[in-house]
Amino acid sequence: MPGDLADLERATARNVVTRSLKVRPGESVVIESWSHTLPLASAIVDEARRVGGIPLLLLEDEKAYWNAVDRKQTRLLGRMSRSEQAAVRAADVFVMFWGPGDSERFERLDGKTSEEVTAWNDPWYALARTSHLRGLRMGIGFATESNARLWGTTVERARRVILAASGVDPALLAKAGSRLRRSLQGRRRLRIRHANGTDLELRLAGRPGELSTGVPGRSTPRRPYGMLTGLPDGRFAIPLEGSTAEGTLLANLPTWTPWWRHAGGRWDFHEGRLTEFSFDQGGEKFRQRFGEGTAGKDRPGALQFGLNPALRSIPTMHTSQGGVVSLQVGRNIGFGGTNRSTFLDWVSLAGADVTVDGSPLLRGGRFL
């Protein structure tokens, strides 16, 4: 793939500072990095200074982190220091990177250990809400050696793709999303088909939906984490009418999150309910989570359309990949719906044909 990594990092850093976060002179900018994401974090420090921001770089060293795990100090890793709490309270802007870099080892941690090392998460968000900061979660942190092997690519290629997608101008994503929103406005019946056997009819809920372009919003009761958004981004999500769904969707892309994953999913709907499901991989975890979910878990929740033209073949980011359609079941209040189930999950399909009220919207995964 063409382009020097340093050039891609510089372009992404400039996009982060000037377009996504719109850093202003005198603003306090906190960047929290891991060892494997330090090159891009350093570029963001430089860009923040270029526009007059005042950056502070926090570094979690990979080796020191795992030394603490080996010493059974996982509860200590899950605590925020008073100095970090003060930094979050004082920050105007916050940039965090996913880590640690040894993602394979992290995923092997048992449930109790995993909960202990991530115990800082809820207190962090509570502070972020009171300080009204705006921020980003940088997806480049997922470009690790172990993830690249699982994705069937190289870490360099993964980095190039993620950096290129992180450098897409949010204004271009907003333009594409606004056009899609207008195409769906006032429409109700939606049908998804694919040569793999997918044929599913859904009904839109008549709500405007949510457009995500890599520009953070505000924290609200409906969107308690709205002050942070991910990069790369580019999604339009629209709520579905929860009692209408008939047919089958067969995923041809995996669903991959830091907490669960599955691939080869088949979802069958009848009279508005997910009545049968199966997976080539990850089915046991899905079945467990689904069994624990509250009312509404089997109802169609939302349909997401990927808008980012530079994203491809990065499983953690398929919902933002241009032309990909992702169907979510369960909770959808974050997208303007009314389903408050404790359960949500999705499957994704590339190359689909989508019609709305009989008019073509996507053909072969391309917007018309």
Give 225's pLDDT tier (boundaries 50, 70, 90).
low
The pLDDT assigned to 132 comes to: 86
The answer on pLDDT for 221 being more than 70 is: no
The pLDDT assigned to 1 comes to: 45
Residue 136 phi, psi (nearest 5): -135, 145
User: How do residues 127-157 score in pLDDT, each as one tens digit?
Assistant: 988 888 999 999 999 999 989 998 999 999 9
Give 171's pLDDT tier (boundaries 50, 70, 90).
very high
Q: d(Cα 367, Cα 307) in Å, to the nearest integer?
A: 9
Q: d(Cα 126, Cα 290) in Å, to the nearest integer?
A: 28
The answer on pLDDT for 2 being more than 60 is: no
Q: d(Cα 194, Cα 20) in Å, to the nearest integer?
A: 35
Question: How many Å from the N-terminal Cα to the C-terminal Cα in the chain?
Answer: 28
Give 224's pLDDT tier (boundaries 50, 70, 90).
low
The pLDDT of 244-255, averaged and rounded, is 97
Q: d(Cα 312, Cα 318) in Å, to the nearest integer?
A: 7
Share of the chain above pLDDT 90, in %: 86
Give Dmax (Cα) for the chain. Answer: 61
pTM, 2 dp:
0.92
Q: d(Cα 25, Cα 213) in Å, to the nearest integer?
A: 23
The pLDDT assigned to 222 comes to: 63
The pLDDT assigned to 295 comes to: 96
Please give the structure tokens belonging to residue 213. Answer: 């372009």
Q: Contact at 8 Å (CB) between 74 and 117? A: yes
The pLDDT assigned to 26 comes to: 98
Angle at 249 between CA 280 and CA 186, to 5 degrees: 150
The pLDDT of 293-299, averaged and rounded, is 97
The pLDDT of 300-324, averaged and rounded, is 96
The pLDDT assigned to 223 comes to: 66
The pLDDT of 254-265, averaged and rounded, is 90
The answer on pLDDT for 272 being more than 50 is: yes
The pLDDT of 169-178, averaged and rounded, is 97
| Helix segments in the chain, DSSP class H | 5-15, 38-50, 62-70, 74-77, 82-90, 103-107, 111-117, 121-131, 145-151, 155-166, 170-184, 283-292
Q: Which residue has the tokens 């870490």?
A: 155
The pLDDT assigned to 129 comes to: 87
243 Cβ neighbours under 8 A, 6+ residues apart: 271, 272, 299
The pLDDT of 281-289, averaged and rounded, is 95
User: How do residues 68-110 score in pLDDT, each as one tens digit?
Assistant: 999 999 999 999 999 999 999 999 999 999 999 998 899 899 9
**What domains sit in the chain, N to C, each tagged with a CATH number?**
5-167 (3.40.1830.10), 171-367 (no CATH)
> How are the residues of the chain apportioned to helix, strand and coil, as percentages rounded to the nearest 5?
35, 30, 35
The pLDDT assigned to 3 comes to: 58
The pLDDT of 19-44, averaged and rounded, is 97
Q: Contact at 8 Å (CB) between 47 and 18? A: yes
Residues of 256-266 as b/e, b for ≥16 C-beta within 10 angstroms?
beeeebbbbbb
The answer on pLDDT for 190 being more than 50 is: yes
Share of the chain above pLDDT 70, in %: 97
Report the range of poorest mean pLDDT among 129-133, 153-157, 174-178, 276-280.
129-133
Give 259's pLDDT tier (boundaries 50, 70, 90).
confident
